[in-house]
């Protein structure tokens, strides 16, 4: 693993993403309820120079809104997830959500203004209503310098390690709490 955090947002140089996290994410996104209706998951782990995804949390149910072109997590649900994550020693490493249409999927203007804004947080956008199995065809962004910056192919190769062995835990969350999936 990387160094211990030195502040609330220590810089992340690389993300370790087990194939199990990719598989759990894709499983949550399929089958899509209706074409164009967005869904999402949070990837959590310990924040360090090399941050490893350890948990996939799927917000569903009370306080979660999935609409055509929009996925929203209420402040109550996000608060429950945050409190649970803090108790586990986890930080939010990435927000993954679906978009309809082509791959690679791009962040929308709304995504840029209504999403998590914390240094080093990834945003992964999975095209084809979450059915795009090739993670290299996902839209990968990092919140940095006041905006989400698209990771180039070179940055993805250098900073995302997807072949990491290991399991992830999977969870469901809503406005009332977080439970094993």
Whichever domain contains 76, its CATH number is 3.40.140.10
Q: What is the mean pLDDT of each run of 10 residues along the chain (181 residues)?
A: 61 96 95 81 96 97 93 97 97 95 84 91 94 93 94 95 90 98 96
Q: Which pLDDT does position 171 carry in this prediction? A: 98
**Full domain range(s) for residue 79:** 20-174
Nearest alpha-carbon partner for 77 in 58, 96, 92: 58
The answer to the question of residue 71 being in a domain is: yes
The answer to the question of residue 15 being in a domain is: no
The answer to the question of residue 33 being in a domain is: yes
Q: Rounded to an integer, what distance in angstroms lies between the CA atom of residue 48 and that of residue 133? A: 28
Number of domains composing the chain:
1
Q: Which pLDDT does position 1 carry in this prediction? A: 47
Q: Which pLDDT does position 75 carry in this prediction? A: 97
Torsion of CA 101, 63, 113, 33, to 10 degrees: 0
The answer to the question of residue 86 being in a domain is: yes
The answer to the question of residue 13 being in a domain is: no
The answer to the question of residue 7 being in a domain is: no
The answer to the question of residue 143 being in a domain is: yes
Q: Which pLDDT does position 151 carry in this prediction? A: 96
């Amino acid at each position: 693993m990387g160094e211990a955090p030195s502040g609330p947002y220590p810089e992340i140089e690389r993300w370790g993403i087990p194939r199990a996290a990719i598989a759990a994410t894709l499983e949550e996104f399929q089958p899509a309820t209706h074409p164009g209706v967005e869904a999402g998951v949070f990837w959590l782990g310990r924040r360090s120079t090399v941050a490893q995804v350890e948990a996939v949390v799927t917000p569903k149910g009370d306080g979660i809104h999935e609409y055509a072109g929009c996925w929203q997590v209420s402040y109550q649900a996000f608060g429950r997830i945050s409190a649970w994550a803090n108790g586990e020693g986890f930080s939010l490493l990435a927000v993954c959500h679906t978009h309809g249409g082509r791959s690679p999927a791009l962040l929308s203007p709304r995504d840029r203004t209504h999403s998590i804004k914390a240094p080093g947080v990834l945003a992964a956008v999975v095209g084809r209503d979450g059915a795009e199995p090739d993670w290299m065809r996902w839209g990968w962004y990092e919140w940095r310098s006041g905006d989400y910056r698209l990771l180039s192919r070179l940055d993805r190769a250098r900073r995302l390690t997807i072949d990491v062995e290991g399991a992830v835990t999977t969870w469901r969350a809503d406005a009332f709490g977080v439970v094993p999936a």
